Structure 1
Amino acid sequence: MVRVRLEDGMGKSGIGLIHQWSIDAHVLHDGSVAHIESAELRDCILPPALVDLALGFLAENDEHVNFVWTGHPTGALVRVAITKGKYAGFASAHLHATAGAELPFALTRRELDVVTLLIGGLASTAIAESLSVSTRTVTTHIDHVMRKFDAPNRSTVATRALDIGLVGLPFPLSAPGFETLRVGRLVRSAGTRGPRKRWNPLPAAGTQPIVIGALVPVAGRGLDDGVEMLNGARLAIEEINARGGIHGREIRMEVAGLDIDESASVRATVDELLRKKIDVITSGYLASQDLAIEAASVEGVPFMHSSASSVIGKLVASNPERYKGVFQFCPSDALYASNFVAFMTKLRDSRQWTPSSERLTVVQQSLWEIVDFGIDAATRLAAEQGWELTTVDALDRRDSTSAWASAAHEVRATRTAAVMLGSFFAPDHAQFIDSFLTEPTDTLLYSIYAPSVPAFRRLVDDRSEGIVWATTTGTYSDRLGHEFASRYTTRFGRPPGRSHAGISYDRVHILAQAWGQLTDIRDFDAVTARIADVRYRGVNGAYSFAPYEHSTLSYGSGSWDPSLSQAHATYQVQNGRNVMIAPAIYASGTFRRPPWIPAPPDGAP
């Protein structure tokens, strides 16, 4: 077995078998495994059976394959994606495996067995015999699966499942139908070893790769979002390299892990990247983003972040020459409170909702100095629209176990029509929602950003139904957004969240567009000039940057041109799905009354 030793952030490390892990590895033709990365700060094991399946993939020379491995000794289901790759100049099977993740369509393990046998073309009686159950039980399973897939027949289920890799290995039995499938060929050749084969290189062999230095959360409160950031960037890099890279040069990513709350390590982490001669630095959101920006600006290296911070925007505008290479790939957080007020006003005035009072409340985190939700502007707007806006401060410390629950008690004690949960972290929202829904009032809950992270749904589960939430940048519910989500799900075995996966994906493509226009991508001034002039339509909407502050324009405030600006996206959780309900030009649904708010009297909205 290949064992990976990883530290837990406290200086402790160890090796063991765990139920949940996510790992990338390159398997070479001779069975050796190299370049192992883990998206979790946990001990990971790549089982020999997966190495053998990767070798079968290489022997059959396929482009990609996806499946669910059911043979893990812990009993965990493992979503596996294998694509063509390379390592140190040798052809490899690039294997990405995620254990412990939920299956799409909420399939159970038994339903996965049934779907796999449907893919193999087996009739109900043969499935029943294979699984040692009655034909009636199999028929019931198939009915459940068809409803989950919203499919009219079993053939449609089999086709859709095969497309997204919902086929279980090892196969429940040997059947001729499996041999014609890509996964069947992989099983047939599993374990085949041969000499290492040289990779057919990208054009202009021998040129140096273009290296993205990525500041990625690998511990603490940003860990789940860090996986989103990493995967979104990886998907874009793989797509670009598959098309020949940039002028024949491959793009690579040098990941520097950190904790978003630990300011002391930020400068050292950036300095470490700079010593590796990276060509650009990308970053999500950090409590001390300004420290990272300062370090990069000293060297003149372009710095592309997504902190959504008006404070950072003002810093950049204060010294345009020093910070000319700094770009914020999302609109400002100062829009959050005003958009909250504007959205509640629209619901009230359109009679989609009857507020219980004239009071609106913002509960806000209070420790990050770079955060500014625009309370002053929102207070003025609220007064103009007939509201009273109040605020409640809640600490956002990682060791706080009651601050957001206390805020829920305070909100419940007032006649508040709607409350905005002003935190970027899912545990804060979960704490407030759990406390509030123990004795709910007719207050509308409006979260910001945190529901875009998959961890939110795991923490809140079905209690999220009816919650409205917004983000300054979110993945659209249009063709581009759906196609991106499908590719991401196929590649990583789980759907993306609705914000940072898309940002990271778009950001790499925007960088590639700029680099493609240049002969010297180390000419940082030229790169900066190309980014400043960018006009790009990505999965999170349109990107263009405001002068001086270099933040992405927001539709309706920075610009009314949807081809130049991103929507302040508003969603509502409806039937377990995030449905985009505003702005109208991008909406895929409309507002619904949340389940905890009583139905109004007849004739009232």
Structure 2
Amino acid sequence: MGVRKLHRGLLLLLLGLLVLPLLASCGPQQKPILIGAPIPLTGPYASDGEQMRMALEMAIEEKNAAGGLLGRPLKLVVGDVGGLEAEKIKAVGERLLGAGVDAIITGYDDGGVDTHTFGGRQVPYLHCNAMTLCTQPVKENPDYWNVFQYCANEVAYGVDAAENLLEKIPQKMGWTPPNTRIAIIKADYAYNIMAADRFRDLAKEKGYEIAVDEVTQFGVVEWGPILSKIEAAQPAYVTFWNLDPTDAARFMIQFRQRFEQTGINALVFMQYTPAIPEFLQLAGKAAEGLLWVTDVATIGPGVAEYAARWQKRFGEPPKAVYAYATRDGFDIWVKAVEQAGCVDCYKKVADNIRSITHQGFCGTYKFTQDDQSVIPAEDLVPVVWHQIWEGESRIVDPPRYKQFDYQIPPWIK
């Protein structure tokens, strides 16, 4: 009888060991960590916004498959900021905060309004708006300690263009500028205005003449009047600062049509906009030879392997740089949380972000201590130059990331 009781006891113990995990799995799940994502899913920047959403979805899926963050699952809460209208951004921000999110992560969602919406609200807010209007309030208001911009400000475009476009690229291209005249066409939007004005001021200091200086609203359909001024001035440099991909594509199509027969001895430059997938779709062959820059580019390690995972997950390759940059923003926050050992200890998480060094797909991220934006440098997160050739954007500078040699544009006869 004693042996039977012993066997029965062992059997019950084994059954208990088998059943308890099953019962535990049927019990209450860990409360998910909510990540808010204010992104443009409709309007002119929707193609970028879609890449941001997909990047965050895949990041969360992969993190959850690996056991979650600090043992808890992650869940995405998306808000559509449309065409970056101020009231829409405010409304989306309040909805996300009201949902109880523990972080706000986006590629871009606006300039300025977002900082005041999320600043001082405790939860870390990581964005890549590349705007002084987003970072200056952080510098001036200590309550905005939770706001981080994981790219440089827009003025970096102006500084880099004054140095490279005017002084270095002509020699690398084997092209001699016919004069020192410049045309500047800029949209009445802070992201474009501040970069273009910085470029203008530096160009003047170098002795260049601003022969055309035009400010437009978004939504220009007919560029003829401005192209007439460019034709009359015959500048050596035509610079276009307008975030709307439709505006930029129309400009290039009409520019090529205007100078198809006569040609024009000038380089054409754009700030960031050709990175938006719609631009090349709309401009087509008219964009051939165009120079453009971005301060978020896929120059870090692991890009090909990430693109392969993306292809497997979505059945198509990444279409824009924000497929990578947004993942970098997510990974920065995750690393800071893991170092803190807690999600809702927001100040500790923010302190970790502020002191972090993170190697991502778009470079090595380090934050300034005053406005909490990324430090721009060739060996950190550089401004990267591209030229469109044979229907693709190819990296031409800085030298360490170069994929392609500068080509003389086809409109230079």
Query: Normalising TM by the smaller chain, what interval?
Result: 0.7 to 0.9
Q: Deviations over 1:118-177 (max 9, x none)?
A: xxxxxxxxxxxxxxxxxxxxxxxxxxxxxxxxxxxxxxxxxxxxxxxxxxxxxxxxxxxx
In structure 1, the partner of 2:289 is 466
Provide the aligned length of Structure 1 versus Structure 2. Answer: 385
Q: Give distance in 2, aligned partners of 1:268 and 1:250.
A: 27
Pair 1:363-2:182 in alignment: no
Matches within 5 A, 1:508-523: 508-523=330-345
In structure 2, the partner of 1:413 is 232
Matches within 5 A, 1:440-519: 440=259, 441-476=264-299, 479-519=301-341
Which of 373, 393, 401 aligns to 2:221? It is 401
Structure with higher strand content: 1
Q: Give distance in 2, aligned partners of 1:347 and 1:272.
A: 47
Q: Is the 8 A contact 1:514 1:530 kept in 2?
A: yes
Q: Deviations over 1:300-359 (max 9, x none)?
A: 22211111002222121011x211110112111012222222222102344622112211
Q: Deviations over 1:165-192 (max 9, x none)?
A: xxxxxxxxxxxxxxxxxxxxxxxxxxxx
Per-residue deviation, 1:234: 1.9
Pair 1:335-2:156 in alignment: yes
Q: Is the 8 A contact 1:361 1:390 kept in 2?
A: yes
Q: Give distance in 2, aligned partners of 1:214 and 1:405.
A: 39
Matches within 5 A, 1:588-603: 588-598=403-413
Cα 1:425–1:509 change in 2 (3 A) is: same
Structure with higher helix content: 2
Cα 1:517–1:205 change in 2 (3 A) is: farther
Give the AA of the match of 1:587.
Answer: K
Q: Give distance in 1, aligned partners of 2:131 and 2:403.
A: 28
Q: Give distance in 1, aligned partners of 2:43 and 2:351.
A: 35
- Match of 1:413, SS state, is helix
Matches within 5 A, 1:231-246: 231-246=54-69
Q: Give distance in 2, aligned partners of 1:332 and 1:493.
A: 34
Q: Deviations over 1:269-303 (max 9, x none)?
A: 1111111110011234344x433322323422221
Pair 1:381-2:196 in alignment: no
Q: Give distance in 2, aligned partners of 1:421 and 1:370.
A: 13
Q: Give distance in 2, aligned partners of 1:405 and 1:544.
A: 44
Q: Give distance in 1, aligned partners of 2:75 and 2:349.
A: 17
| Larger relative contact order (Cα-Cα within 8 Å, sequence gap ≥ 6) | 2
Give the AA of the match of 2:221.
Answer: T
Pair 1:214-2:34 in alignment: no
In structure 1, the partner of 2:147 is 326
Q: Is the 8 A contact 2:152 2:373 kept in 1?
A: yes
Matches within 5 A, 1:84-233: 206-233=29-56
Per-residue deviation, 1:479: 5.0
- Match of 2:214, SS state, is strand
Per-residue deviation, 1:237: 2.0
Q: Is the 8 A contact 1:296 1:303 kept in 2?
A: yes
Give the AA of the match of 1:430.
Answer: A
Q: Is the 8 A contact 1:405 1:432 kept in 2?
A: no
Which of 355, 366, 387 aligns to 1:572? It is 387
Q: Give distance in 2, aligned partners of 1:382 and 1:234.
A: 43
Pair 1:268-2:91 in alignment: yes
In structure 2, the partner of 1:550 is 372
Superposition RMSD in Å:
2.4
Q: Is the 8 A contact 1:334 1:372 kept in 2?
A: no
In structure 1, the partner of 2:117 is 295
Cα 1:462–1:528 change in 2 (3 A) is: same
Q: Deviations over 1:172-229 (max 9, x none)?
A: xxxxxxxxxxxxxxxxxxxxxxxxxx9x98xx98322221100011221121111111
In structure 1, the partner of 2:102 is 279
Per-residue deviation, 1:409: 3.2
- Match of 1:517, SS state, is helix
- Structure 1's unaligned 5+ residue stretches are 1-197, 557-561, 599-605
Cα 1:474–1:409 change in 2 (3 A) is: farther
Pair 1:435-2:254 in alignment: yes
Cα 1:274–1:351 change in 2 (3 A) is: closer
- Match of 2:156, SS state, is helix
Per-residue deviation, 1:437: 0.3
Q: Is the 8 A contact 1:364 1:391 kept in 2?
A: no
Q: Give distance in 1, aligned partners of 2:96 and 2:139.
A: 25
Give the TM-score normalised by structure 2. Answer: 0.86
Q: Is the 8 A contact 2:248 2:273 kept in 1?
A: yes
Q: Deviations over 1:489-548 (max 9, x none)?
A: 332233324422221111111111111112321111011101111111111111111111
- Structure 2's unaligned 5+ residue stretches are 1-21
Per-residue deviation, 1:388: 2.5
Per-residue deviation, 1:376: 4.8
Q: Deviations over 1:463-505 (max 9, x none)?
A: 22211111122222x6523333333233223332442222111
Q: Give distance in 2, aligned partners of 1:279 and 1:428.
A: 37
- Match of 1:490, SS state, is helix
Cα 1:442–1:506 change in 2 (3 A) is: same
Q: Give distance in 1, aligned partners of 2:276 and 2:28.
A: 39
Q: Give distance in 2, aligned partners of 1:589 and 1:205.
A: 56
Q: Is the 8 A contact 1:293 1:326 kept in 2?
A: yes
Q: Give distance in 2, aligned partners of 1:438 and 1:355.
A: 22
Q: Give distance in 2, aligned partners of 1:455 and 1:376.
A: 26
Q: Is the 8 A contact 2:48 2:276 kept in 1?
A: yes
Q: Percent identity?
A: 26
Give the AA of the match of 1:492.
Answer: F
Cα 1:505–1:436 change in 2 (3 A) is: same
- Match of 1:219, SS state, is coil
Q: Give distance in 1, aligned partners of 2:311 and 2:356.
A: 28
Q: Give distance in 2, aligned partners of 1:501 and 1:405.
A: 35
Which of 552, 573, 584 aligns to 2:399? It is 584
